[in-house]
Amino acid sequence: MSLDNPLLQAWQAPYGLPPFEAIRAAHFEPAFHAAMQAQRAELRQIAGQVEAPDFDNTVAAFDRSGRLLGRVAAMFYNLTASETNAELQAVQRRMAAPLAEHDSAVYLDAALFGRIDNLHARRDALPLSAEQGRLLERVHLDFVRAGARLQGPSRERYAAVMAELAELTTRFAQNVLHDESGWRLLLQSDADLAGLPDFLRAAARHAALERGVQDGLVITLSRSLVVPFLTFSERRDLREQAWRAWTTRGEHDGQADNREVARAILQLRNEQARLHGHASYAEYALADTMAGTHAAVQRLFDEVWPRALVAVQREREALQAQMALEGAAGEIEAWDWRYWAEKVRQTLYAVDDAEVKPYFRLEAMVQAAFDCAQRLFGLHFAPRPDLPVYHPDVRAYEVRNAAGDVVGIFLQDNFARASKRSGAWMSSLRWQNRNAPDASGAFRNAPAPMAELPVILNNNNFAKGAPGEPTLLSLDDARTLFHEFGHGLHGLLSNVTFERLSGTQVLRDFVELPSQLFEHWLSEPEVLRAHARHWKTGEPIPEPLMQRLHAARRFNQGYETVRYTASAMVDMAVHARTESEAPADLAAFEADLLQRQGLPHGVGINHRLVHFQHLFSGSGYAAGYYVYLWAEVLDADGYDAFREAGNPFDPRLAESLQRHIYGSGNSLEPGAAFAAFRGRAPTVTPLLRKRGLINEDAVAVAVAG
């Protein structure tokens, strides 16, 4: 261990948290190289032993390997996402290929795979527990999907492809951040501010001060600023400016242009799939999902897309009627929809964000999420301001269960800033497991395991209130907070032995179930009565307002469903191509597909390919953006169990939910995990009902089959 590199020293802070204040960008490169070297030595020890392979000396030992590298990487990627700078970005670019090459060296190690393959071939005869069997299956599949069965030139080419992809996905993400952090809309005159409610003016004022702008307000491309601006601004010309900037991120000539970067990624992914014997990248990616095939995903699209088009046409007619009422002429463009939808919402339901947001103070919504976790799972979140964090905005909590035992550490980073990528996400500095290297930190083949507590992070991008003013959330912001906290609970409640099976490391179309499911509790009247209180008066949200919010819950769902599903269909289409070449013009490919699918004018899509970070900042959601819809089938059906019980905090259901969904990680096959909780396979009807896309008496349609 280096004496002068804090990344390579034992971390002495409580719960083994990093010494954030001591770590510099210059520490990461040498730490990565040292950690990669350490893991290679560990793997040589596993692969070179004379003893015949068994579960403990090969599979469990492999699960224990690379913990130093995992620790350094977790720290690094959390910083590059949440608190980056030019020095960190330079390290990220330099290390992308070496880290990918190291990964390939691990999974293309013939001797190591030979031992794992030997055990996998004999798995039915081995005395394995259910969790051990699941780990063997997953580790073996990890090797196979990383190219372990490839030989000769194909093996070498595969490693080169993965290194190139790592460099390109890093560049894609940095290009999007460049465009997001570099754009601002300065508002100075009263005319510029027309229609903007006080909460948005306060947030835009804070954004201006953060960027050194003293004279005026600033709208950035942070979702919590640009969406309210598109919703409330009476200045159609400024709405168009903001919309065009938001939707053309990554599509500008120059060093941050993502058009060719995305094409190159698609081409390399196609080659990766072909090396595996698949006709397309979508076929390769979907092989390890609940859906399994493109056809299964298409069946879900076919259930939702036509119904969403009907719903959005009804919504358009309501918007046009509102425009006629106010004497507005012309066609509804993409920068108009939210503006007129808000007016319709106020007309139909008397629901106005300016009236709603004072009841959704950030700190109160955090406590609402904590309270739901306590009532469901017995968790208590105790603030620990003494624990080290990487930015003053981050809040640290010690998490205890009902018995008073510490089960993890939770770090929450809620605010947008220029050094942070957009969006909202959960990540980890350490996964829960009971298979860590022993207290000395030494790696051993023979089991000498230790338990490790999870360290889980939530990141949001809320616009901070002006100095002295609270941060007020929209209902959509509050859902985002609950969504990410659901992911956080998936990490904190994990109760498995092996790190590879811990927390959110599950199949991609299952991972959104715990997060989307947790959103439901925000809408429960008893939760709102307890926590949605006016930030000035402390009065609970009025019952009539709560009833209006409930009545409006399906408002504009056609619009939201079309935008999401359109993005999912573009993702699937571009990754399902069997041609060896990527489309020559991604924008033209996208536009042509959406026209053929009948995307209505003025609706738009959630993400265009040129800034679609889910797809191109990594591979996790490539040919996988559909997973939110797939998981919504599960979450809508799953939450119906609580409705049927007549109690959103039913103790028996909560215990089953924790055991089978939040606590099991990847130790259970996801279909079996859901069935163990729900008592049957899911149906799509609750999703369609939730989004207002069918009548209440529609016949259930099975997802599977």
Higher local confidence (pLDDT), 507 or 699? 507
Instruction: Specify the pLDDT at position 632.
Output: 95
CATH number at residue 492: 1.10.1370.40
Could you say which of 128, 149, 170 is where a domain stops?
149
- Residue 445 — very low, low, confident or very high, per pLDDT cuts 50/70/90? low
Closest to 84 measured CA to CA, from 543, 447, 413:
413
Question: How many CB atoms lie under 10 A from the CB of residue 200?
Answer: 27
Instruction: Give catalytic status of residue 581 as yes or no.
Output: no
Label the pairing between strands 217-219 and 450-452: unpaired
Residue 679 lies in a domain: no
Please tell me the distance from the alpha carbon of residue 451 to that of residue 455, in angstroms, as a whole number.
13
- Residue 697 — very low, low, confident or very high, per pLDDT cuts 50/70/90? very low
Over the stretch 192-228, which tens digit does the pLDDT of each residue have?
Answer: 999 999 999 999 999 999 999 999 999 999 888 999 9
Over the stretch 392-428, which tens digit does the pLDDT of each residue have?
Answer: 999 999 999 999 999 999 999 999 998 999 899 999 9
Instruction: Specify the pLDDT at position 2.
Output: 61
Report the pLDDT averaged over residues 578-601: 96
Report the pLDDT averaged over residues 655-669: 98
pLDDT surpassing 90 at residue 354 = no
What lies within 8 Å, CB to CB, of 98 at 6+ separation is 32, 33, 36
Closest to 477 measured CA to CA, from 519, 515, 539:
519
Going by the DSSP 8-state scheme, the letter that residue 659 receives in this structure is I
Least confident of 137-151, 336-350, 435-449, 634-648: 435-449
What percent of the chain clears pLDDT 90, i.e. is strictly above it?
91
Label the pairing between strands 450-452 and 395-400: unpaired
Please tell me the distance from the alpha carbon of residue 243 to that of residue 221, in angstroms, as a whole number.
9
Domain count, the chain: 2
- Residue 448 — very low, low, confident or very high, per pLDDT cuts 50/70/90? low
Letter string b/e over residues 54-85, b meaning 16 or more CB atoms within 10 A of that residue's CB: ebebbbbbbbbbbbbbbbbbbbbebbbbbbbe
**Three-state helix/strand/coil letters over 498-517:** CHHHCCCCCCHHHHHHHHHH
Report the pLDDT averaged over residues 513-532: 97
Q: Which secondary structure element, helix H or strand E, spans residue 537, and what is its range?
A: none
Residue 95 lies in a domain: yes
Task: Tell me the residue range of the domain where 450 lies.
Answer: 357-533
Could you say which of 115, 130, 149 is where a domain stops?
149
Residue 111 lies in a domain: yes
- Residue 703 — very low, low, confident or very high, per pLDDT cuts 50/70/90? very low
Question: How many CB atoms lie under 10 A from the CB of residue 684?
Answer: 24
Residue 105 lies in a domain: yes
Query: What number of residues does the chain have?
Result: 705
Over the stretch 528-575, which tens digit does the pLDDT of each residue have?
Answer: 999 999 999 999 999 999 999 999 989 999 999 999 999 999 999 999
Please tell me the distance from the alpha carbon of residue 638 to that of residue 135, in angstroms, as a whole number.
26
Q: For 276-380, where are the alpha helices, taking DSSP H only? A: 281-286, 294-325, 337-349, 353-356, 362-377
Strand order in the sheet with 380-383: 380-383, 395-400, 406-415, 455-462, 425-430
Report the pLDDT averaged over residues 63-78: 97
Instruction: Specify the pLDDT at position 695.
Output: 61
**Per annotation, catalytic residue among 83, 315, 398, 484:** 484
pLDDT surpassing 50 at residue 172 = yes
Instruction: Specify the pLDDT at position 698.
Output: 35
Instruction: Specify the pLDDT at position 468.
Output: 87
Could you say which of 149, 175, 195 is where a domain stops?
149
What lies within 8 Å, CB to CB, of 206 at 6+ separation is 463, 464, 465, 466, 467
Residue 595 lies in a domain: no
The CA R_g of the chain, rounded to the nearest whole Å, is 25
Over the stretch 291-320, which tens digit does the pLDDT of each residue have?
Answer: 999 999 999 999 999 999 999 999 999 999
pLDDT surpassing 70 at residue 699 = no
CATH number at residue 122: 1.20.1050.40
pLDDT surpassing 50 at residue 705 = no
Question: How many CB atoms lie under 10 A from the CB of residue 687?
Answer: 25
Please tell me the distance from the alpha carbon of residue 691 to that of residue 693, in angstroms, as a whole number.
5
Report the pLDDT averaged over residues 494-508: 97
Mean model confidence pLDDT for the chain: 94
Residue 683's DSSP bridge partners are: 702
Instruction: Specify the pLDDT at position 444.
Output: 67
Closest to 224 measured CA to CA, from 393, 470, 495, 464:
464
- Residue 441 — very low, low, confident or very high, per pLDDT cuts 50/70/90? low
Residue 514 lies in a domain: yes
Closest to 99 measured CA to CA, from 677, 618, 623, 606:
618
What lies within 8 Å, CB to CB, of 470 at 6+ separation is 361, 362, 363, 535
Least confident of 51-60, 272-281, 313-322, 343-352: 343-352
What lies within 8 Å, CB to CB, of 264 at 6+ separation is 164, 168, 582
Backbone angles phi, psi at 280, to 5 degrees: -150, 165
pLDDT surpassing 60 at residue 498 = yes
Residue 133 lies in a domain: yes
Residue 35 lies in a domain: yes
- Residue 86 — very low, low, confident or very high, per pLDDT cuts 50/70/90? very high
